[in-house]
């Protein structure tokens, strides 16, 4: 019996217009009415999911969200932090040097603020264009606060060049960080071991829920750990091949109410 649905936003719950379809909304509400925990699990910061939490009525006592690819687990009503894991300032500096060497624009996310750094002359980050809900501010490397909390670092740039430079990232860097593509034009760096599965497992244990009682739904590379973790791992029809290969179930695309279909079949119908 499924007791928790961990669900990605972009490319999964949201259609290509960044909207939640009426069918998806109805299915999630029906599952919630049966006592199933609905947990948004995303790479986005909390600021960039608040409108969706409101729309889905997920800001009540007992509602949780997992953001920053598992780096932050939080109660939606009070904002109380269950778990928070971040990059050290030394790691941020290391990623700045890496971005400069690879001529890639770098943004570092500090809670609700995205600091955009000039690490690649002539190449501008498109992170703010990908999500208008983000609070993006230009800064310099020298102006970064060593005492601030940095949740993750991202490179948002044109796919062909990004993939070309990504291939140059050394095994040493990959051994220190989670290096994951979350969209075709978006590369993210997280502390090693911090994944969506990490956040879900921590929350599930707090709630007395086993992995077998979790359904996880996603489409991108950063969804792979949670899909492998969950009792029912679901890949969207628009998912990348790695995610499809790891999933227990393949549903329709984010444009065809795939979330609603899989919830109706495996949760609402038992």
Catalytic entry in 8, 63, 223, 257: 8
Contacts for 165 with CB less than 8 Å, ≥ 6 apart: 102, 103, 104
DSSP code of residue 270: -
| Residue closest to 170 by CA, chosen among 93, 98, 87, 91 | 98
DSSP code of residue 47: G
**166: how many CB neighbours lie within 10 A of its CB?**
15
- Strand 249-250: give its sheet, edge to edge: 81-84, 72-75, 64-67, 37-41, 4-7, 214-218, 232-235, 249-250
| Under 8 Å between Cβ of 106 and 126 | no
Is 8 in the active site? yes
Which residues are designated catalytic? 8
């Amino acid at each position: 019996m499924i007791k928790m649905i961990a669900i990605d936003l972009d490319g999964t719950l949201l259609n290509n217009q960044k909207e939640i379809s009426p069918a998806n909304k109805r299915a999630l509400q029906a599952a919630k009415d049966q006592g199933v925990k609905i947990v948004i699990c995303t790479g986005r910061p909390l600021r960039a999911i608040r409108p969706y939490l409101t729309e889905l009525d997920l800001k009540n006592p007992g509602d949780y969200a997992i953001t920053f690819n598992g780096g932050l687990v939080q109660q939606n009503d009070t904002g109380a932090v269950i778990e928070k894991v971040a990059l050290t300032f030394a790691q941020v500096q290391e990623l700045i040097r890496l971005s400069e060497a690879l001529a890639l624009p770098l943004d570092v996310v500090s809670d609700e603020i995205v600091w955009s750094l000039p690490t690649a002359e002539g190449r501008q980050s498109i992170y703010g264009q990908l999500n208008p809900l983000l609070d993006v501010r230009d800064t310099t490397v020298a102006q970064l606060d060593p005492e601030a909390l940095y949740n993750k670092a991202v490179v948002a740039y044109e796919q062909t060049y990004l993939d070309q430079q990504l291939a140059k990232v050394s095994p040493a860097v990959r051994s220190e960080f989670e290096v994951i593509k979350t969209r075709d034009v978006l590369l993210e760096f997280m502390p090693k071991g911090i994944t969506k599965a990490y956040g879900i497992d921590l929350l599930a244990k707090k709630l007395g829920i086993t992995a077998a009682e979790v359904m996880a739904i996603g489409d991108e590379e950063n969804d792979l750990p949670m899909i492998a973790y969950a009792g029912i791992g679901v890949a969207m029809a628009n998912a990348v091949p790695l995610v499809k290969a790891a999933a227990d179930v393949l549903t329709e695309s984010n444009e065809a109410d795939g979330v609603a279909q899989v919830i109706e079949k495996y949760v609402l119908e038992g």
